[in-house]
Amino acid sequence: MRTTTLGRTGITVSRVALGTMMLGAWGNPDHQEAERLIHTALDAGVTFIDTADMYSAGESEEIVGKALKGRRDEVVLATKVHFPMGEGGLRQGNSRRWIRQAVEDSLRRLDTDRIDLYQVHRPDPTTDIDETLSVLSDLVREGKVMAIGSSDFPAEQMVEARWTAERRGHVPFHTEQPPYSVFMRGVERSVLPTAQKYGVGVLTWSPLASGWLTGRYRRSTPLELNAFRRDLISHKFDQSLPGNARKYEIVEDLIELAAEAGLPLTHLALAFVLSHPAVDGAIIGPRTVEQLDDLLAAADVELDDAILDRIDELVPPGTDLNPSDADYTPPHLADAALRRR
């Protein structure tokens, strides 16, 4: 398993990280099977595990905590805060009030005394970034958190956070976690170059584009979605959207290209993400041990320039095949009242 240094933190991690969104009610509810998956990943050399408080309403963190008993020091453990963890509007966001409570909840569920990387899951337009960085800096100084990061932050907000940290004496974000795949290349325009400029580590998620780049979804087969895809990310499969209809065509071209290279499509997709010089690691989210084994076999695959050029022809650099796939839309675009007089 290849390793790298996470940004400028000095922390060494495997280039393939285990994401645990699919462990628990959202994916695999069998805790013993989920723990076996985590142990298989550790035994294969994975040293970075990424979760979030909101994954299956905290169940994912609990599974990770149980699996790491006796093996906690073998991994760099990351989790996130932002999304609602209860009713009423007080248990969410990036405020000092909520982060102070959320970090304690995560530490309890993970059954650990520290979080190696604590990430802000999305920007929060209602909270000044100074407020967020202030409380995160306090947690770092207290030893509850070792490093901090952002997720799905646009480049301009990454720069604002860095400027605020320098001006106010806060700990800066050490990492950014954007979605990145052959189908989602928009981050190549500004997010990845900005990360490189400031030495921010990049941990990409969804390298298989929510399953599209496994070859599972093809025109020749009925579109069958599990509850998670149907209820939470249906916009990534809605065939009324031109970008989603285009995915079928590109999948066929990529399957052919992968065959020419002697690779499964999943290996081609993961190797593409890891080929970008700004990317430190890619987070995979298998639901079963069999899926994990397949993806771990791709960890050391490298694509030559000819293959990368062919991919560029199919999906041009800096392009999101389906713009609606974006999981974060700035409020001034999502809310009409903010862009009209």
- Residues tagged active-site: 55
Would you call 301 helix, strand, or coil by DSSP? Answer: coil
Number of Cβ within 10 Å of residue 25's Cβ equals 13
Q: 1, 118, 114: which is closest to 52 by C-alpha?
A: 118
DSSP for 120-154, please give it. E-S--TTS-HHHHHHHHHHHHHHTSEEEEEEES--
Number of Cβ within 10 Å of residue 111's Cβ equals 14
316 phi and psi, to 5 degrees?
-60, 150
> How far, in Å, CA of 223 to CA of 58, rounded?
30
Count of alpha carbons within 13 angstroms of residue 104, beta-carbon side: 7
> How far, in Å, CA of 83 to CA of 85, rounded?
6
Residue identified by tokens 């399953």 is 211
Structure tokens at 273: 């993400």
Structure tokens at 258: 């992968």
| CB burial string 151-185: b at 16+ within 10 A, e below | bbbbbebbeebbebbeeeebbbbbbbbbbbbbbbb
Count of alpha carbons within 13 angstroms of residue 31, beta-carbon side: 11
Which long-range CB contacts under 8 A does 81-84 form with residues at least 24 apart?
81/52, 81/53, 81/106, 81/118, 81/119, 81/120, 81/121, 82/54, 82/120, 82/121, 82/122, 82/124, 83/52, 83/53, 83/54, 83/121, 83/122, 84/54
Residue identified by tokens 């290996």 is 267
Which neighbouring-strand residues pair with 12? 5
